Amino acid sequence: MREGLAAGLSEVIADSSRVLTAPTVLERLSHDFYWYSPVLRPLLASKVGDVVVQPVSVAEVLAVLRSAGKHETPVTVRGAGTGNYGQCVPLESGIVLDLTLMDKLEEITPDGVAVCQPGLRLGVLETEARKQGWELRMYPSTLAKASVGGFLAGGSGGIGSVAHGALRDFDNVRAFEVVTMEEEPRVVLHEGAAVHEILHAWGTNGVRTRIWFALTPAVEWTQLTAAFDTYEQAFRFTESIAVDVAWTKRLATVFEWPIPSFFTPIKQVVRSGKALALIMIATTQAGALCAAAALAGGEVTFACAYQGPRTQPLLSDYTWNHTTLWAMKADAAYTYLQCGFSPTECEEQFRLLRERFGDEILFHIEFM
């Protein structure tokens, strides 16, 4: 089966070196960060595709899907494979369609929309956009590695969401060109409200081959951390920044102790036993934010300019779902449960959770 499938695909792919069957390659490109979940870990570890195909054009994507349709072969679409729910794992084997070679940034329009292929890395887009006075409205903490196509098919939001909401909000995604998954695949355009038929659909109804993703004017950012004696103090301070439109911010995060103790590479910003707030603020407001933190009882432990994805330390590497990664490095038994809280009743919700679960849970809050 495997050889026959690869041979058939080599006929429709211009260069057969982009049809991969080496067992180690199949193993690597059949998995993502599914192992974050103690439930998925035993279920998905042994799943593997029969062949990986790396198309470089819409014509090749069409040809692969046509062949798959004809032979009823399952297709699993893959970007950078950083999804953490097993969305890239080929449950029924078949073809893994790896889009990382379709990675062109075609243009940034004068009104700030990036037009690109799906395999473009978000970090590359952020860097290129900032050169032209724009930046991403939001990105996952996997910025350096993750692809635009994978983020829009499997992600939800991230750094920037405190100002711009989630991917589904505010026309953040303008249009998709999609190759449909049906017996005779078609190339269709989804724009306006029809974007939502494809957004966050995990590649189950089609393959995005071209994306129109809205940007925002670039801002000079400062990354800042402040330590507080209690979680409640850190939460209230960060919330006051997050909800006040007068502050221009890109990130507003709170960690209760001992989560900050997991961040070993940045231990200089951590204070033992204290909660940590992590904020990206417009550099013009950094001084005022330091003063506000001090007034709220915080100690500013770090402040430095953000200069794009290569900034070191890049504090977003500790936020969103990277926090779980640091926790699992400290103790592999940690996992996470993503919860939404009421903006008006969250403190009562926290209290009820503590009452019920005690020390079994730790709070990490991202404001959206």
Residue 138 beta carbon to ligand FAD: minimum distance, rounded to whole angstroms: 8
Q: Could you say whether residue 320 binds ligand FAD (CB under 6 A)?
A: yes
Residue 351 beta carbon to ligand FAD: minimum distance, rounded to whole angstroms: 27
Q: Could you say whether residue 30 binds ligand FAD (CB under 6 A)?
A: no
Q: Of 68, 77, 175, 251, which lies in the binding site for ligand FAD, with binding defined by CB under 6 A? A: 77
Residue 282, Cα to own-chain centre: how many angstroms? 22
Which stretch in 181-189, 200-208, 253-261, 333-341 sits in contact with ligand FAD by CB under 6 A? 200-208
Residue numbers 125-144 binding ligand FAD by CB under 6 A: 140-142
Q: Between 101 and 353, whose beta carbon lies closer to ligand FAD?
A: 101
Which stretch in 126-134, 214-222, 268-276, 319-327 sits in contact with ligand FAD by CB under 6 A? 319-327
Q: Of 49, 90, 112, 150, which lies in the binding site for ligand FAD, with binding defined by CB under 6 A? A: 150
Which stretch in 5-13, 253-261, 280-288, 320-328 sits in contact with ligand FAD by CB under 6 A? 320-328
Q: Could you say whether residue 158 binds ligand FAD (CB under 6 A)?
A: yes
Which stretch in 20-28, 46-54, 201-209, 301-309 sits in contact with ligand FAD by CB under 6 A? 201-209
Q: Could you say whether residue 54 binds ligand FAD (CB under 6 A)?
A: no
Q: Between 228 and 306, whose beta carbon lies closer to ligand FAD?
A: 306
Q: Could you say whether residue 118 binds ligand FAD (CB under 6 A)?
A: yes
Which stretch in 63-71, 247-255, 318-326, 332-340 sits in contact with ligand FAD by CB under 6 A? 318-326
Number of residues that bind ligand FAD (CB under 6 A): 36
Q: Could you say whether residue 147 binds ligand FAD (CB under 6 A)?
A: yes
Site string for ligand FAD, 83-112 (x = CB under 6 A): xx--xx----------x-------------
Instruction: Tell me the three-class secondary structure of the chain, residue by residue.
Output: CHHHHHHHHHHHCCCHHHEECCHHHHHHHCCCCHHHCCCHHHHHCCCCCCEEECCCCHHHHHHHHHHHHHHCCCEEEECCCCCCCCCCCCCCCCEEEECCCCCCEEEECCCCEEEECCCCEHHHHHHHHHHCCEEECCECCCCCCCEHHHHHHHCCCCECHHHHCCCCCCCCEEEEEEEECCCCCCEEEEEHHHHHHCCCCCCCCEEEEEEEEEEEECCCEEEEEEEECCHHHHHHHHHHHHHCCCCCEEEEEEECCCHHHHCHHHHHHCCCCCEEEEEEEEHHHHHHHHHHHHHCCCEEEEEEECCCCCCCCCHHHHCCCHHHHHHHHHCCCCCCCCCCCCCCCHHHHHHHHHHHHHHHCCCEEECC
Q: Which residues contact 22 (CB under 8 A, 6 or more apart)?
A: none
The binding site for ligand FAD (CB under 6 A) comprises 32-33, 77-84, 87-88, 99, 118, 140-142, 146-147, 149-151, 153-158, 202-203, 207-208, 320-322, 325
